[in-house]
Amino acid sequence: MSAKNGAGTPQGWGHVGATRAQVLRRRFPTVDDLRLRARSRVPQFGFDFVDGGAGGETGVARNRQALDAIELVPRYCVDTSGLSTQIELFGRTYAAPFGVSPMGMASLAWPGLEADIAVAAQAARIPFVLACVSGAAIERIAPLAPDVFWFQLYRFPKDDHAAGFDMMRRAEQAGAHALVLTVDSPVRTKRPRDLRNGMMVPFRPDLRTIWSVATSPHWFRALLQRGTPRFENFEPYVGSQNVGALAGFAQREISGAYTWEEIARFRDRWKRPLLVKGILHPQDAAEAVKVGVDGIYVSNHGGRQLEAAPASIDVLPAIVAEVAGRAKVIVDSGMRSGLDVVRALRLGADAAFTGRPFVYGVAALGADGARHVADMFLEEIRLALGQLGARTLDEARTLAMRHPGAMRF
């Protein structure tokens, strides 16, 4: 939130002189408000793809339950008026300890949303991670977020990782500040909502799908304006813009989880900050540190991969203890407010990222929605710190607290 957009001053809907940010703050004060509106504007297959999780989705719910269970004890009679939320991460300054997680094909929920989120992240000055399987190419998105652009890569083992190394090179050329290698998808997962909606390659829309598109005019207009989402990053390797051919490439070529030897090879070639994403065990964090990564990205993929995985917040303290300052530690999965970000700081994270809220925001409100989500988190981080009597982020890390779900290894 900035004083400039006045998002801190509640105003009425339609109040004369109220800024758009003020109106949004009043009408959509929480991520849940945005989610509900998104659900009413997006065809079911697109909404379910983003909103859903693995199996019975108990992993998605567990992330929330674990965060909600964390209690923080405030200190009063403290002057917090001068507090700053800025952080240094890998040698760069960001506005706050939170960022946007990589989300592949989230443009199914809103065509072209990567560009909207990138622009909002740049304006808010928070890290934005573009997924390799996103609907928009590295070269198109990086210039929209020059100060905050990171890139995520899955494993493309064919031809000695030719496609992966080439995307790494393209990301470097485009100015990515950090590379994120995701390891938590060793095999494909099973998401029942996607199966029910016929989300497979090749995509075979049934009558229900056609009906849900026909009854989503805002989404359909975005599709006409911005084109059908496709895996743009793979066009050089497929030699085609055909959606089916690109999806087929993704399906065929992305496979397995990186081995530590492979991560070491990326480490050798990538001279900027390198993170490994999807770490849930302290021993894996230790291996990652051993091969020289700069950041451990603690995540259970938002409950989308292994339904039985622990909430990432519950394994965070053990991982922070294991890493012992040798790498930065970032966490995501289930973060829905600035208060959650502060909870994550208290449990030792250097920063907390979030995924789905940005999709809900854009799907609900168009481009403004991404900025609104960033503003909401920034405001709530400040509010949480003020409520807790923490004058700095470091003070937030020493608050008294209770964390009933903390996992011991």
| 44 near ligand FMN, judged by CB under 6 A | no
| 209 near ligand FMN, judged by CB under 6 A | no
Q: 3-state class of 129 per DSSP?
A: strand
| 232 near ligand FMN, judged by CB under 6 A | no
Cβ closer to ligand FMN: 94 or 258? Answer: 258
CA 96 to chain centre: 15
Cβ closer to ligand FMN: 332 or 391? Answer: 332
Cβ closer to ligand FMN: 256 or 386? Answer: 256
The one among 301, 328, 343, 382 contacting ligand FMN by CB under 6 A: 301
CB of 175 to ligand FMN, least distance (A): 20
DSSP conformation letters of 331-386? E-SS--SHHHHHHHHHTT-SEEEESHHHHHHHHHHTHHHHHHHHHHHHHHHHHHHH
DSSP conformation letters of 271-327? -S-EEEEEE-SHHHHHHHHHTT-SEEEE--GGGTS-TTPPPHHHHHHHHHHHHTTSS
| 223 near ligand FMN, judged by CB under 6 A | no
Report which residue type is found at 175.
G
R_g (Cα) of the chain, nearest Å = 20
| 112 near ligand FMN, judged by CB under 6 A | no
Q: Is 281 a catalytic residue?
A: no
CB of 3 to ligand FMN, least distance (A): 28
The one among 59, 355, 361, 369 contacting ligand FMN by CB under 6 A: 355
Q: Are 178 and 353 in contact (CB under 8 A)?
A: no
Q: Which stretch binds ligand FMN (CB under 6 A): 80-88, 97-105, 155-163, 226-234?
A: 97-105
The one among 44, 85, 107, 152 contacting ligand FMN by CB under 6 A: 152
Q: Are 246 and 231 in contact (CB under 8 A)?
A: yes
Cβ closer to ligand FMN: 355 or 361? Answer: 355
Ranges within 118-147 binding ligand FMN (CB under 6 A): 131, 133
Residue of 377, 326, 321 lying closest to 352 (CA atoms): 377
**Which residue in 15, 161, 281, 301 is the catalytic one?**
301
CA–CA gap between residue 303 and residue 142 (Å, rounded): 28
CB of 154 to ligand FMN, least distance (A): 7
Cβ closer to ligand FMN: 301 or 372? Answer: 301
Residue of 295, 288, 255 lying closest to 273 (CA atoms): 295
User: Which residues does the annotation mark as catalytic?
Assistant: 301
User: What is the binding site for ligand FMN (CB under 6 A)?
Assistant: 50, 101-104, 106, 131, 133, 152, 182, 277, 299, 301-302, 304, 332-335, 354-356
